[in-house]
Amino acid sequence: MDEQETRVLLSEFGASLFARGYSVGSAGNISVKLPDGYLMTPTNSSLGRLDPGRLSKLDANFNHVGGDKPSKEVFMHRAFYQAREDAGAVVHLHSTQATAVSCLPDVDQSNPIPPLTPYFVMRVGRRMPVVPYYRPGDPSMEPAIRAAAQGARAVLLANHGPVVSGKTLTDAVYAAEELEEAAKLFLMLRGQVPRLLTAGQVDDLLTTFG
Ligand code: 13P
């Protein structure tokens, strides 16, 4: 896929996520790795109305080299790309149910959502930690995100929302959607004792689907 096709795909995914309520107002940001740098959503842009020609272009060192001013969360995306060689795209949302889980102090902060369904495990993986609260746009969160992302494809920013990486833009968007569904199930099942996937079943999924 060339850069122009990637710009169009990113804008289409933004519109789709917005239309389905995964993002409201100007919340959320998306980036994709290119051979010569990164594309990123501009700061204060609505995911529902992205202009492919005005997406921010960053060089390989995350310097702004084209398009509108990038998201104030550039460092959040950079932390994922630096921590994970397999990251080809990063999606940050304020999707309601995942954000609700990020506000719960009484869940396991190292891995709040247990393996309830195969697709959550296949898309998000074995572990998804909560990173402590930082003000949106505060660059001091970068080391904490980088450390958490070393062992996880996705993290929850406390009282803020999910950050999800994937090998491709499509993978990252699908993982963000699966995470939101898993968070919804987790909240629905709170106070009950659901049957979880066993460690053997989780291993089988990760071996079979990567
Ligand atoms: P930006 O508009 O700067 O991308 O910030 C939106 C956001 O989601 C902050 O967390």
Domain ranges of the chain: 3-209
Ligand 1 nearest-atom number relative to CA 76: 10
Looking at residue 179, its amino acid is: L
Q: Please say if 180 is a catalytic residue.
A: no
pLDDT digits (tens, 9 = 90+) for 138-156: 999 999 999 999 999 999 9
CA angle 12, 16, 21 (to 5 degrees): 150
Q: What is the pLDDT of residue 24?
A: 98
* Residue 35 alpha carbon to ligand 1 centre in Å: 25
| Atom from ligand 1 closest to the CA of residue 94 | 8
> Any catalytic annotation for residue 119?
yes
DSSP codes joined into one string, 78-92:
HHHHHH-TT-SEEEE
Architecture of domain 3-209: 3-Layer(aba) Sandwich (3.40)
- Give the Cα separation of 5 and 13 in Å (integer): 12
Task: Identify the residues whose C-beta falls under 6 Å from ligand 1.
Answer: 26-29, 41, 43-44, 71-73, 92, 136
What are the tens digits of pLDDT across the range 59-80?
A: 999 999 999 999 999 999 999 9
- Residue pLDDT, tens place only, 116-141: 999 999 999 999 999 999 999 999 99
Find the mean pLDDT for residues 161-190: 98
Q: How many CB atoms lie within 10 A of CB 194?
A: 11
Among 44, 47, 138, the mutation site with the greatest number of ligand 1 atoms within 8 A of its Cβ is 44
Q: Catalytic: which of 73, 177, 178, 180?
A: 73
Residue 210 has pLDDT above 90, yes or no: no
